[in-house]
Structure 1
Amino acid sequence: MAKNKGVRIVITLECNECRSNPAIDKRSHGVSRYTTEKNRRNTTERLEIKKFCRYCNKSTTHKEIK
């Protein structure tokens, strides 16, 4: 039988600066991505968290993508 979909879903967070400025003053080419979970009922809007980006070599805002 199929299991009921849970409240928690897996999301992907992507660096805003790497996405908007491709390969300008970067250590290497690429976009920083993190995966995490969020509660669908409590957090309905897109998540935005400050995390470390290894390509920018600093803490930047990471935004939820599809």
Structure 2
Amino acid sequence: MSKNKGARILITLECPCRNLINTNKRKKGIVRYTSTKNRKNTPNRIELMKFCPACNQHEKFKEIK
């Protein structure tokens, strides 16, 4: 049998530049990263600085469902 998952869950981070049409300099499409977070320590949605290849710069990636 499998064990209990515990407090760590898998989350998806998405760049906010996907809503803007003219800012994509390099390539089109939605840029997403996956990460994990502790559900008990961080109940709210998180934002992390990651590199966005569409914007060609570091952006704040926000957690999505």
Deviation at 1:4, TM superposition (A): 1.8
TM-score (norm 1): 0.86
Q: Percent identity, aligned pairs only?
A: 53
Q: Work out the number of aligned pairs and report it.
A: 64
Aligned to 1:46: 45
Aligned positions of 1:1-66 closer than 5 A: 1-17=1-17, 19-22=18-21, 24-26=22-24, 27-66=26-65
Gaps of 5+ in 2: none
Distance 2:40 2:19 in 1: 30
Gaps of 5+ in 1: none
Deviation at 1:2, TM superposition (A): 4.6
TM-score (norm 2): 0.87
**Structure 1 stretch 4-13 or stretch 24-33: which is displaced more?**
24-33
Deviation at 1:9, TM superposition (A): 0.3
**Structure 1 stretch 25-34 or stretch 36-45: which is displaced more?**
25-34
Q: What SS is found at the alignment partner of 1:44?
A: coil
Moved over 4 A (4+): none
